[in-house]
Every structure is written in structure tokens, then in C-alpha cells.
Structure 1
Amino acid sequence: MNGIALTLRALHQGERDLERDLLAAAERHRTDHEFHHVAVDVARWSREHAARLADAGHHYGLDLSGPREQSAPGALSALREKAAEALGRRPETGLLLLHDLRELHLAAAGNSLHWEMVGQLGQAERDGRLLDLATSCHPQTLRQMRWTNTMIKELSPQLLGSV
């Protein structure tokens, strides 16, 4: 498999994982209405990106429309969900939210790097398909990163200072 195929496959999986993680975090923190609604909204971008990547993948001999590769649900993930259920609106949920925001930010940053690589290849190879895909999707990924970063900046002082 060539480099572009590997990158498109990794980016497609990354967008699908980010969508799943955003929706899971939105559900875990459903009592924080602002977070919940924005997370659901920006998850839609990742779903759209994955669909566009699957369409573009056909041109490069990839079938990205199959079932999502499942990463093994870790004990930490299960523990976070159970803890969030048990804690409800208690202050400790803020620490769980910060943890989720950090993980979401890192996932979006990984996708952003892949989008950058796709865009650079599109530019170097004069491949309008790749360049258009990257220039239309990458800004939304950057907005996902800015949102998580802003939330971390806003919440960290009050949540970490009150523990």
C-alpha cells in the first residue's frame, strides 16, 4: 500500500474515532448542556469528513466504506463512563471533562496533521481532488481543536483550583 493510501486510511479512521469519542463524551457529560450540544455538532464534521474521505478513497483504490475498525475499549474508558454516571453533577465530573477534552484535542490534532499531509501532497502532485478535500475539511478540524483548547483554558482554573 502506498503512502497516500496509508494516510487516507489513517485519517478516515481518525475521523471516525473522533466522531465516536465526541459523541461518547457528549453523552457522558450530558448535564453540561453547552458541552453536550457543541460536541454533538462538531462530531457531525468528523462524520462528514469520513464520508468525503471514503468517496475520495475510491479514486485511489481504497474501500473505506466498511465497518469501523474497533479499538479495544480500555479499562480506563469503562471506568470513566461508570464514574461519570455515579458522579452526576459533582465537582469530580469536571476532572473527567478535562480529561475528555484533552483526549479529544489530541485526537483532533492527529487528524489535523494528517490533513496537512494530504494537503501538501495534493499541492506537490497538483492533485486537485486531494487539495480540495484538505482545504475544505482541515479548517473544521482546526476549529475542533480551538474549541477543545478554549474549553480547557476556561475550565482548568476553576476545576483544578477547587480540587
Structure 2
Amino acid sequence: MSLPTPWCPRPDTIAAAKPPILQQQQQQQQQQQHQQQKHRKQQALPPPPPQQQQQQQQQQQQQQQQQQQHQQQQQQQQQQQQQQGLEEAQNQQQQKQQQQQQQQQQQQQYQQQQQQQQQQQQQQQQQQQQQERQTSGIAGGTAAILLTVGAPHQMSLILPRSIQH
């Protein structure tokens, strides 16, 4: 049993009507469908239900988009190399870029460590302040009232520690 191959328009006839990205996607889809049909002929299996076909096509489109993004990145790298006019090999430039990225990551990690240290210092300072308040026997809200009463030796009489805690 051989399944009839569906009629596919020639890619050069589509080129005038559609932008190049759609044209690339359509060409790749046609190639992949053609490969799937070849594969089915070899296995002599019935075609999968349409839902599976749609899922496969969606996955293929996602893969194509990723491939296109990858191609765009490569093109950007090539353009950068051309603009810079460097005579070094591409591998060396890529290694340099990777090293720069690693250095940036290390710097970011160093910055994060610094931030963590700063946070720890702030926490320590806050703890020290709280301890100082507790040991001095002055609660945060009552400090202003106590100061209006009188000398420090009278404060212990007005607010004993048993009442504060």
C-alpha cells in the first residue's frame, strides 16, 4: 500500500507572495511532511489522526522558530565580526566572548555576595540596636515620655523591668 503524495506548489512560486520567513517555514514544513510520508510508506502504517498531525506541526514550527533565532544570532555574530574587521578566527572570538560572559557572571556573583554581606551587616546592626534598647530598659514607644519626666536615675523607679517585660 502506497499513499499518494499531496500536490505541493513550487517554492519559487510562493516567494513572490509571502515574506521570506513564512517561505522558509513553508518549505521546511513541506520537507518535513514529505519525510513523514516517506517514513510512513516504509512502515506501511495508517496516517495518525489529525490532532496528532497538528501537534507535530506545532512542535515543528517551534523548532523552526528556534532554528531561525539561532540563525539570526549567528548572523549577528558574523555582522559584528565584519564590522569590527578583525582578522582573528571565529573560534577565538567566540572563546573571548565566552570568557567575557564568564567574567560578567563572576562579577555578578561577587556583587551578590557583597549584597548578602551588606544585608548581614544591616541585620547585625538592627539586632545590636534592639539589644541596646532592651538592655537600656527603654521601650521604643515610652522613650519620649521618660525623657520628659526627669533624670536617668528616676527612670528605673518609674518603669521597673518587670512591668516592661
TM-score category, normalised to shorter length: under 0.3
Task: Tell me which of the two structures has the higher relative contact order, counting C-alpha pairs closer than 8 angstroms and 6 or more residues apart.
Answer: 1
Say which one has the larger Rg.
2
* TM-score normalized by the length of structure 1: 0.28
